[in-house]
Chains A and B, each alone.
Chain A
């Protein structure tokens, strides 16, 4: 229950000036996700070029953890193949569910390692995962859309 381990300076920096905030055109799919229990909301747009995430912008309303996590996630997946982004999500999820016993891999998670402390605040884990769930949903829809188009 150490505050400084939860609110690392990196998290507060991302919260104060989130990266890739502000919805931009063009995009393939837009999704809107909420945490019904607390009311946090994120609107997120993705654009894919083949298997690569070329665009991700978002508009988030919520706490510092959810906003910062969405910002960090944007940095982690933009310009990368979808599969790599999904693998990064798995690593992040493992960290979040690790109750503080998982050593984060900075090579993969970059600024995401700052969220290690969140794992010790079970009520806040869902905040850190909101943006990720929106991105995974939007990406799955975008891939399905492209597949549908190429099958025509």
Chain B
């Protein structure tokens, strides 16, 4: 057992958990669900599912192009989702919010449209701790244009290595694209500081905020980013919707990404003109119900208070770090102190492969992720092929962390490494 360690959260966990019916599930062999995979996808409160269901059952129609009452209701609901996203992240203009299908599409949109202006000699700077979705789109953009991809390394402590920032961010740099919170290491990066360096040389700054927006208050008006991407399903919202926020003047200059309905102004057989943002980047029927669901999700988080969500995330992560470090043979990839750290902890357990760790935990109802978490380069940086990752959210209890720590003890004895 992990003993009586102290834990204090500003959230009433019992009442939060009552909003997430799935958390009461019992899994095989009578074990209660211990869901520690929220960085992969969060669970959904009943309020979000209700909003989705209400929309489909009472207001469903296509948006904008439908000239009837339901069409007007659906349009109002969809655009209402845009207003809620704008307010939630501190965007001053609702037209700065572009809906995509996920964060990957948002980052691809950024890489495609910013990439259109790249040429040989130009440089794009990313980091070794990026998710594949903030690596591959830039590799593709550089291949298309002859631009060069460069990257920040990672220190042994799992922090961004800024020691060579002066050589990395130069007058050749056109784009700096970084994750705010690493999905594998949990590291929170100093975006504002790096953005100032990038802007000083005239480069644009793209931020992957997939793990940031769900975890702490975000204010794009002061962050220093020019474009910022995140996804709905990690922030208690539905799958199928992501967001690209961009400074309006920048979005207005960017070329279209996908062509189709709703993104046009006038289409002639000889050529077309395009709608202003955000419509320019929303070709085809958008994720309408998902925008409604995302709006409800952000309302839910705002109702609880993102400052409280962040404080809980800090408290539960500190509690988990302490518990995990007490497991013999366990090594954490990434910062082991709570400063500038998010709620995802990846680790190795000596003598047991992560898949085996995950499978054994799963038979005790404990859901974790095992593998490279779509961040293979950072695993390579630490000389490991894969890791096990536990991640926490506003509904995670210290008892669940205790179950994980006890479960790891069981894993060690099962594989006879104890």
Which residues of A are at the interface with B, using a C-beta cutoff of 8 A? 1-3, 6-7, 12, 37-41, 61-65, 121, 123-124, 127
Contact = CB atoms under 8 A, between A and B. Distances in A.
Interface string B376-409: 1001000001100000000000000000000000
B359 A38 contact: no
B28 A63 contact: no
A63 B354 contact: yes
Contacts of A38: 355, 370-372, 386
Given A7-B414, A61-B385, A63-B356, A39 B363 contact: no
Contacts of A40: 355, 385-386
A62 B359 contact: no
B360 interface: yes
B356 A39 contact: no
Contact of B360 (A3, A12, A37, A127): A3
Given A1-B29, A3-B363, A121-B359, A39 B353 contact: no
Nearest to B360: A3
Nearest to A118: B359
Given A62-B353, A124-B359, A3 B414 contact: yes
Nearest to A37: B371
A124 B355 contact: yes
A131 B414 CA distance: 25
B386 A39 contact: yes
Contacts of A37: 371
A127 B29 contact: no
Nearest to A38: B371
- Which of the listed residues A38, A40, A65, A124 has the most CB atoms from chain B within 10 Å of its own CB? A38
Contacts of B29: 1
A13 B372 CA distance: 26
Interface of B: 28-29, 353-356, 359-360, 362-363, 370-372, 376, 379, 385-386, 414-415
A3 B361 CA distance: 10
Contacts of A64: 353, 355-356, 415
Given A62-B353, A63-B353, A63-B356, A39 B385 contact: yes
Given A1-B28, A62-B353, A39 B359 contact: no
- Which of the listed residues B29, B355, B385, B414 has the most CB atoms from chain A within 10 Å of its own CB? B355
Contacts of A1: 28-29, 362-363
Contacts of A6: 359
A39 B372 contact: yes
Contacts of B363: 1-3
B376 to A, nearest CB: 7
A72 to B, nearest CB: 17
23 contacts: A1-B28, A2-B363, A3-B359, A3-B360, A3-B414, A38-B355, A38-B370, A39-B379, A39-B386, A40-B386, A61-B385, A62-B355, A62-B385, A63-B353, A63-B354, A64-B356, A64-B415, A65-B355, A121-B359, A123-B359, A124-B355, A124-B359, A127-B355
A100 to B, nearest CB: 13
Nearest to B387: A39
A2 B28 CA distance: 9
Contacts of A7: 356, 414
A1 to B, nearest CB: 4
A15 to B, nearest CB: 9
B384 to A, nearest CB: 9
A94 to B, nearest CB: 22
A146 B24 CA distance: 60
Contacts of A3: 359-360, 363, 414
- Which of the listed residues A12, A63, A123 has the most CB atoms from chain B within 10 Å of its own CB? A63
A39 B376 CA distance: 8
Nearest to A124: B359
Contacts of B414: 3, 7
Nearest to A127: B355
Contacts of A12: 415
9 closest A-B pairs by CB: A63-B355, A1-B28, A63-B353, A38-B371, A39-B386, A39-B372, A3-B363, A64-B356, A61-B385
A68 to B, nearest CB: 11
A58 to B, nearest CB: 16
A121 B415 CA distance: 18
Contacts of B371: 37-39
A98 to B, nearest CB: 19
Contacts of B360: 3
A35 to B, nearest CB: 9
